[in-house]
Amino acid sequence: MSRLGHTIKAGLLQVHSVVGLVLALLLTLIALTGAIMSFEDEIVDHLNAGMMRVAPRTAPVLMPDELVARLKAAQDVGKVAAVTLSSDPSAAVHIRFARDEQGGRPASLYVDPYDARVLGVPRGEEFFAIVRRLHRWLLIPGDAKSWGRPITGIVALCLIVMLVSGLVLRWPRRASSVKMWLKPNLGLSGRGLHRSLHAVIGTWVLPIYLVMTLTGLWYSFDWYKDGVVWLLSRPEAAAAKMQPRAPRAAVPREPVPAVGFDRAWSAFLHEEGDRFSRALLTLPAGPGTVIRIRSWGKEATLEATRDEFRIDAVTSQMVSAERYVDKTFGEKIIASVYDLHRGAILGWPGKLAFMLAAALMPLFAVTGVLLYMSRRKLRPSRQRAALRDDAADRTGERQVAASSDAKGKLDGVELRQFR
């Protein structure tokens, strides 16, 4: 390798080492919390299987507004923010609440769709909510509006730098050899074993880490999200998604009528019939009257394969209807960002692979620190060896010079004798 190549690799090694040492704990924390959430849906469904089902009856299920009214009459609950309904007559209704004045969010409830009887609080919900806030925002107060959001984004960008630099640093001389790339040398010990594990297992998980970071940036930076939307969406869809929020009016607005679920729900049923499996109805966070309804078909297995409707809760008018089947390939990728981020796009094997890759992050932190410490220990001996080599070179130069002088004198004597 040329002197320039050695210089570039030495610089990349410094960057790789310093960034890794600085971010080791944060990367480990974010990765482990992601691994914990990999099978969140399956775990929560298993823990709450008993309260998520009811005995089907001949009586019709309650309309959403009647169900919420009975629930509030039976006990003191917070402001309802969203309701999940199902076409299955044996499925319970899941009710979520808005944040209170202190910023806290009451625990959600499972409710009997026939009589509004409370079936229980979902087990595991609070635990996974804390893990999610730790994964996304590092538990910094303010959640998505806090500094935790850009910090995790910066960590993701630094991980991309580490992945690229690590790939360049371990590029083998025989790049076409699969064994060189993918087989760790377990017969080594100490520094050699640490380096083999760090490099080879890093190669295994590198594609997964790239997918995780590139999709994770979607949730951290608006400029990144807008760029992806502009790149992959149709022009009209991109313009609609990137519309800036309208500024708040300075003059007092007219009183907004009370918004309920029933009219929007009836309009949705008229549009969809029984083609849906479950539907999430979300009330507007502000003073608007448009309810968002996300619905999943009976064959849907991914979060991405959903249709989204916006219906005026006062006039029952359909404001917009966005169906998954009508999306372009790029728009389907945008809709699948969450499923790509956790590997669900490949089914449960993909989720398992992503979970294991995330769980391996502590291995790179530990081996990286050990390699750095071993290099620090080797540095003085290398410096001494360099000094010895330099001294030997100087001695050799003096010996060569002395030999040259002696040879010159001898040549002079021989020349005089020849004359």
What is the rounded average pLDDT of the residues 95-108? 86
Q: Which H or E element spans position 97?
A: strand 93-97
Nearest to 300 by CA among 269, 344, 334: 344
Q: What percent of the chain has a predicted confidence (pLDDT) above 90?
A: 66
Task: Specify the pLDDT at position 400.
Answer: 47
| pLDDT given for residue 176 in this prediction | 74
pTM: 0.84
On whether the CB atoms of residues 367 and 269 are closer than 8 A, the answer is no
DSSP per residue, 130-186: HHHHHHHHTT-TTGGGSTHHHHHHHHHHHHHHHHHHHHHHT--SSTT-HHHHH---T
Per-residue pLDDT band for 242 (boundaries 50, 70, 90) equals low
Q: Is the pLDDT of residue 261 over 80?
A: yes
Contacts of 142 (CB under 8 A, 6+ apart): 148
> Among all chains, which residue has been given the structure tokens 């919900």?
125
Across the chain, mean pLDDT equals: 86
Exposed e or buried b for every residue in 302-329, given b needs 16+ CB within 10 A?
A: ebbbbbebbbbbbeeeeeeebebeebee
Of the chain, the end-to-end C-alpha distance in Å amounts to 52
pLDDT of residue 241: 66
Closest by CA to 300, choosing from 271, 270, 339, is 339
Residue 384 confidence class, pLDDT cut points 50, 70, 90: low
Tell me which of 40-49, 164-173, 339-348, 396-405 is least confident: 396-405
List the one residue out of 320, 336, 338, 340 whose CA is nearest residue 328: 336
User: 235 falls in which pLDDT band (50, 70, 90)?
Assistant: confident
Question: What is the DSSP track for 1-60?
Answer: --HHHHHHHHHHHHHHHHHHHHHHHHHHHHHHHHHHTTTHHHHHHHHTTTTSB----SSP
Across the range 155-174, mean pLDDT stands at: 90
- Name the least confident of 183-192, 256-265, 338-347: 256-265
Which pLDDT belongs to residue 321? 93
Instruction: Decide the pairing of beta strands 318-322 and 290-297.
Output: unpaired
Q: Which CATH architecture fits 222-242+256-349?
A: Roll (3.10)
pLDDT at 148 over 90: yes
Torsional sign, CA 32, 38, 41, 46: negative
pLDDT score recorded for residue 388: 53
Q: In the predicted model, is pLDDT for residue 119 greater than 70?
A: yes
Rounded distance, CA 120 to CA 105, Å?
Answer: 16
The reported pLDDT for the residue numbered 385 is: 52
> Which residues are CB-contacts of 162 (< 8 A; sequence separation ≥ 6)?
16, 19, 20
Q: How far is CA 393 from the centre of its chain?
A: 55
Determine how many CB atoms are found less than 10 A away from the CB of residue 24.
Answer: 17
Of residues 22 and 254, which shows the higher confidence score? 22
Q: 295 — phi, psi (to 5°)? A: -130, 150
Sorted by where each begins, the domain ranges of the chain are 1-48+124-220+350-419, 50-79+98-122, 222-242+256-349
Check if the beta carbon of residue 323 is closer than 8 Å to that of residue 330: no
- Identity of the residue numbered 404: S
Distance CA 171, CA 372 (A): 19
Task: Report the pLDDT averaged over residues 7-33.
Answer: 93
Q: What is the pLDDT of residues 178-224, one digit of tens each?
A: 888 888 988 889 999 999 999 999 999 999 999 999 999 999 999 99
Look at residue 405 in the predicted model and tell me its pLDDT.
Answer: 59
